[in-house]
């Protein structure tokens, strides 16, 4: 189901004006709909059950449209016995430029090919996960593929499906207006919205 359709449907179910612009109440209901049917029967306030502190910190930096997806992914992974945390969310242009400099003009290994404005992280529509086993972070694990499949099921795009640089910890929510766009085209449109102070999902 398309996101705007889901917003309208959820809003009419809730009996609030379905203007297609989701507020917190609508996003909570959407969260409940995205996660397993068992969880979906919980009240909307249960959708606000906190996850671990580190994930919460990252989720808070994400666009409000993306936040319920991040929570749902943690929930879905937990339901199959996999512990994940959201370990990266929004990066400002400056933070992205600093990351780009690493391994080039600054010491360290090259970790990204994206400068400020060239990563979906710069718009709060992307996040990275980490797999944890016994409290330990695992940078490499076959579980990333499992979580990737769960994310795709939720309607997220998964970096593990990328042709050029595969990025298994990476997930992003593509705005509906960008569904038919190539990645570069979408990023250019996101930069325009960013510079205009416009909403990325409107």
Question: Which residue ranges make up the site for Zn ion (CB under 5 A)?
Answer: 128, 170
> Rounded distance, CA 25 to CA 44, Å?
8
Nearer to Zn ion, 75 or 128 (CB): 128
In the complex, the smallest distance separating the C-beta of residue 39 from Zn ion, rounded to whole angstroms, is 26
Residue 14 burial (10 A CB sphere; 0-12, 13-18, 19+): middle
In the complex, the smallest distance separating the C-beta of residue 54 from Zn ion, rounded to whole angstroms, is 16
99's CB contacts (< 8 A; 6+ apart) are 91, 111, 112
Nearer to Zn ion, 47 or 147 (CB): 147
In the complex, the smallest distance separating the C-beta of residue 184 from Zn ion, rounded to whole angstroms, is 17
Specify whether the CB–CB gap between 33 and 27 falls below 8 A: no
Nearer to Zn ion, 76 or 170 (CB): 170
Nearer to Zn ion, 8 or 112 (CB): 112
How far is the CA of 34 from the CAs of 1, 141, 161, 187, 191, in angstroms?
A: 11, 25, 21, 26, 29
Residue nearest to Zn ion (CB): 170
In the complex, the smallest distance separating the C-beta of residue 199 from Zn ion, rounded to whole angstroms, is 21
């Amino acid at each position: 189901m398309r996101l705007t359709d889901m917003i309208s449907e959820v809003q009419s179910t809730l009996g609030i004006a379905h203007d297609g612009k989701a507020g917190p109440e609508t996003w909570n209901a959407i969260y409940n709909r995205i996660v397993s049917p068992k969880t979906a029967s919980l009240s909307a306030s249960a959708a606000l059950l906190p996850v671990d502190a580190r994930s919460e910190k990252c989720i808070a930096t994400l666009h409000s449209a993306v936040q319920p997806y991040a929570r749902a992914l943690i929930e879905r992974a937990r339901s199959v016995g996999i512990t994940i945390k959201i370990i990266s969310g929004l990066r400002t242009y400056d933070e992205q430029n600093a990351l780009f400099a690493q391994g080039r003009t600054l010491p360290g290994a090259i970790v990204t090919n994206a400068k400020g404005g060239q990563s979906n992280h710069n718009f709060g529509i992307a996040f990275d996960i980490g797999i944890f086993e016994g409290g330990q972070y695992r940078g490499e694990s076959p579980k990333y593929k499992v979580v990737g499949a769960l994310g795709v099921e939720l309607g997220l795009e998964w970096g593990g499906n990328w042709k050029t640089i595969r990025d298994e910890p990476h997930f992003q929510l593509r705005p509906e207006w960008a569904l038919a766009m190539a990645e570069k085209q979408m990023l250019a449109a996101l930069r325009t919205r960013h510079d205009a102070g416009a909403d990325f999902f409107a």
